[in-house]
Amino acid sequence: MSSDDINYKNNPLHGLGLKALVEEIVNHYGFDILYAYIQLNCFKTNPSIDSSVKFLKKTAWAREKVEAFYLYQYKSLPKAPAREFSIAPRDRIIPNDHSAGQPAQLTLEDAARMQSIREEKAAKYNHTGNHKRHNNKPRRFDSIAKSHNISGNANSPTKTSTNFDPWAKAKNKIDNKNE
């Protein structure tokens, strides 16, 4: 299926500029509720539509977060299937049988409750140590620390080999050029 065959016209973001999107959700919800739900400082610190649009144009991850809020909170569309989570909201294909609904009724109390739930999950996640790296490769620093006998414990004194010269390769290149 080529990009010409895909119909994006059912996506509410199709043809909608970023400034119009921000104006629409700010006029409906206000900056306080937007910050409470989306957690972007452009909606908290000296908020204005122009400064928010400027930030969102430069920051793709924040723009996608606002576009997802627009689709699933403001337009009340059903959540995207799991296979489309990696696709930006503007590029998602909305089935023809889905239509935009009434904007969700959002309150600061609900946002505070959701934030406390997120914090509990994060604390539990960090406490249990269930988080893993995306791949099982060791971090770059781990191999450097092992090769230089550096201890990973911050409380113990670090041990480095006394004969290690970080400039050895550069010195060898210079010596070879001079010969």
Percent of residues, the chain, with pLDDT higher than 70: 75
How many Å apart are CA 163 and CA 8, to the nearest integer? 63
Give a yes or no: residue 127 inside a domain: no
pLDDT at 101 over 90: no
User: Residue 1 has what pLDDT?
Assistant: 47
Q: Average pLDDT in the 37-44 region?
A: 93
User: Residue 171 has what pLDDT?
Assistant: 80
Q: Which of 21, 61, 17, 23 lies closest to 39, judged by CA?
A: 61
Q: Average pLDDT in the 31-47 region?
A: 93
Give a yes or no: residue 54 inside a domain: yes
Structure tokens at 135: 């791949």
Give a yes or no: residue 132 inside a domain: no
Give a yes or no: residue 37 inside a domain: yes
Q: Average pLDDT in the 111-124 region?
A: 89
Give a yes or no: residue 121 inside a domain: no
Q: Average pLDDT in the 10-38 region?
A: 92
Q: Are 98 and 77 in contact (CB under 8 A)?
A: yes
pLDDT at 155 over 60: no
* Secondary structure of 14-26 as H, E, C letters: CCCCHHHHHHHHH
Q: Average pLDDT in the 108-131 region?
A: 84
Higher-confidence position of 130 and 158? 130
User: Residue 7 has what pLDDT?
Assistant: 65
pLDDT at 175 over 90: no
Structural domain including 78 reads: 18-114
Give a yes or no: residue 98 inside a domain: yes
- Count of structural domains within the chain: 1
Give a yes or no: residue 8 inside a domain: no
Give a yes or no: residue 133 inside a domain: no
Q: Are 69 and 37 in contact (CB under 8 A)?
A: yes
How many Å apart are CA 1 and CA 95, to the nearest integer? 16
Confidence of residue 161 (pLDDT cuts 50, 70, 90): low
Q: Average pLDDT in the 64-85 region?
A: 88
Mean pLDDT of the chain: 81
